[in-house]
Chain A
């Protein structure tokens, strides 16, 4: 019972915190330089891991899929499946998971360390709202950078899939491209980007929330970073499922 009450209390506190972040984003003062700096850090930190995570997925889809499609004489249509799977599902989910692992943990650890070392209090005493200065830039950076990374991973995933389908699998390049462009619509791209933005937002808010809840010492900082990764990845995968079901239900 106590655990349930604690969970509900934490959920309530997270909701209030998310509202505070939202309100702080809409109102002044805003710290653009810090936001740009966070974006720069996130892109540098995430681009290689995200690329390395998604590129093999495109390759595996082509490798596994080509034999199945050949059974039906439909290997020319492999790119339709590849494109949809990468753009709508794998790229947003994997890019977001990698952002959660790389950026979410580092944001939570940074804020937690600042809290333990009194730097959050120092900001507050200087008349600087720590949520505005430390949390909001991280949230905006995750919100913006995750979709940007997914654009790159879309390209990498499809390119690796093309490599195993066309030069290695023997699918005609023209047919591959024709089915790819015919299948992927603007709606697919927007759905993928929208999901990334939603997941990025969740990563930023949860990382900030858990970072600011750090209380004692290095172990607490490590726990905040770890909890951020675990909670955000679970949240991303569950939300991805729910959002995909809803969008398919709406015919999108």
Chain B
């Protein structure tokens, strides 16, 4: 299987390179590294994501984007470094200890996550999938939950399919239901893992518009990992580029494009020659 490798010489990957804006940070990563055996997936990644931003992390497949996302919510523990979410170091919490586990779950409740394939619960209807976090984490009456579920499904353009099961939906519909579930509690941060993968361009653009609409109306911080350059151009206010475990570029979209970073240039121009190598 082809792998991509990047030449990092001369690229801005040191500490402080990953800072975007001075607003109160939602997430701070300090020198985060993660390996699986001999495979170094993340190598000293440092970045700051401010509240209310839409950050798109780009990069070739297999360069640690999903691992980064999983480290943010404590699904993976980095080997070194700190992962600060609203000031709390998620990486320092030990899930095997009851107190830390409760703390970790409390932090996770501030997140919504759109998984790559939706991760909808197979044995629940669309309605129950979206209602699920509300039933567990709020004291809302069933009537209030119903109102909110319908509202969320309406926002993602799904009306009338509430009683369908995930297996009866198309890929695009499943993703929209998963998005409705991710924003059901109007969380502080929504993580999107490859939101456009497997979707046609029109559906992909529809989902991007949804993200921007949610950002505008609810002020949610979005962290999106993607290799869709059109999506990054459309929704991002901050762009990061991960390649071979290194954060090779990070900053406001305009600034990143203005600097014309070689890896960014190669990625957006779809060129085979450049610092990113297919090996």
Interface residue ranges, A against B (CB under 8 Å): 16, 20, 23, 27, 29, 113-114, 117-119, 121-122, 124-129
Q: Indicate if the CB atoms of B75 and A128 lie closer than 8 Å.
A: no
| CA A20 to CA B96, docked complex, whole Å | 8
Q: Indicate if the CB atoms of A117 and B108 lie closer than 8 Å.
A: no
Q: Indicate if the CB atoms of B75 and A124 lie closer than 8 Å.
A: yes
Q: Which chain B residue lies CB-closest to A126?
A: B133
| CA A17 to CA B70, docked complex, whole Å | 23
Q: Which of B109, B119, B122 sits near A121, CB closer than 8 Å? A: B119
Decide yes or no: A118 and B73 within 8 Å by CB, A125-B111, A128-B105, A128-B136 being known contacts.
no
| CA A127 to CA B90, docked complex, whole Å | 13
Can you identify 27 A-B contacts, CB atoms within 8 angstroms? A16-B96, A20-B96, A23-B98, A27-B98, A29-B136, A117-B117, A118-B119, A119-B120, A119-B121, A119-B122, A121-B115, A121-B119, A122-B115, A122-B119, A122-B121, A124-B75, A124-B105, A124-B108, A125-B111, A125-B112, A125-B113, A126-B132, A126-B133, A127-B108, A128-B136, A129-B101, A129-B105
Residues of B within 8 A of A (CB-CB), count:
25
Q: Indicate if the CB atoms of A126 and B108 lie closer than 8 Å.
A: yes
B143 at the interface (CB under 8 A from A): no
Q: Which chain B residue lies CB-closest to A131?
A: B101
Q: Which of B101, B117, B137, B191 sits near A118, CB closer than 8 Å? A: B117
B106 at the interface (CB under 8 A from A): yes
Main secondary structure, interface of A, reads helix
Instruction: Collect the chain B residues with CB atoms within 8 Å of residue A127's CB.
Output: 105-106, 108-109, 111, 137
Q: Which chain A residue lies CB-closest to B116?
A: A118
| Most B CB within 10 A of own CB, among A117, A122, A128 | A122
Report the number of A-B residue pairs with Cβ-Cβ less than 8 Å: 54
Q: Which of A16, A29, A119, A125 sits near B75, CB closer than 8 Å? A: A125
| Most B CB within 10 A of own CB, among A16, A113, A119, A127 | A127
Q: Indicate if the CB atoms of B119 and A119 lie closer than 8 Å.
A: yes
Main secondary structure, interface of B, reads mixed
Q: Which of A16, A113, A126 sits near B122, CB closer than 8 Å? A: A113
Q: Which chain B residue lies CB-closest to A20?
A: B96
Instruction: Collect the chain A residues with CB atoms within 8 Å of residue B70's CB.
Output: 121
For the complex formed, measure the closest distance between the CB of B97 and the CB atoms of chain A, giving whole angstroms: 11
| Apart from the given pairs A29-B136, A122-B119, A127-B105, 13 other A-B contacts in the complex at a CB distance below 8 Å | A117-B117, A117-B119, A118-B116, A119-B119, A121-B115, A122-B115, A125-B75, A125-B108, A126-B137, A127-B106, A127-B111, A129-B101, A129-B105
Instruction: Collect the chain A residues with CB atoms within 8 Å of residue B111's CB.
Output: 125, 127
A-contact bits for B86-109, CB 8 A (1 contact / 0 none): 000000000010100100011011
Instruction: Collect the chain A residues with CB atoms within 8 Å of residue B132's CB.
Output: 126
For the complex formed, measure the closest distance between the CB of B42 and the CB atoms of chain A, giving whole angstroms: 18
Instruction: Collect the chain B residues with CB atoms within 8 Å of residue A16's CB.
Output: 96
Q: Which chain A residue lies CB-closest to B191?
A: A125
| CA A16 to CA B98, docked complex, whole Å | 12
Q: Which of A27, A29, A119, A125 sits near B73, CB closer than 8 Å? A: A125
Q: Indicate if the CB atoms of A121 and B105 lie closer than 8 Å.
A: no
Q: Which chain B residue lies CB-closest to A127?
A: B109
Q: Indicate if the CB atoms of A126 and B136 lie closer than 8 Å.
A: yes
For the complex formed, measure the closest distance between the CB of A80 and the CB atoms of chain B, giving whole angstroms: 47
For the complex formed, measure the closest distance between the CB of A132 and the CB atoms of chain B, giving whole angstroms: 9
Instruction: Collect the chain A residues with CB atoms within 8 Å of residue B112's CB.
Output: 125
Instruction: Collect the chain B residues with CB atoms within 8 Å of residue A119's CB.
Output: 119-122
A-contact bits for B183-215, CB 8 A (1 contact / 0 none): 000000001000000000000000000000000
For the complex formed, measure the closest distance between the CB of A110 and the CB atoms of chain B, giving whole angstroms: 8
Decide yes or no: A126 and B101 within 8 Å by CB, A16-B96, A117-B122 being known contacts.
no
Instruction: Collect the chain B residues with CB atoms within 8 Å of residue A118's CB.
Output: 115-117, 119
| Most A CB within 10 A of own CB, among B115, B119, B120, B133 | B119
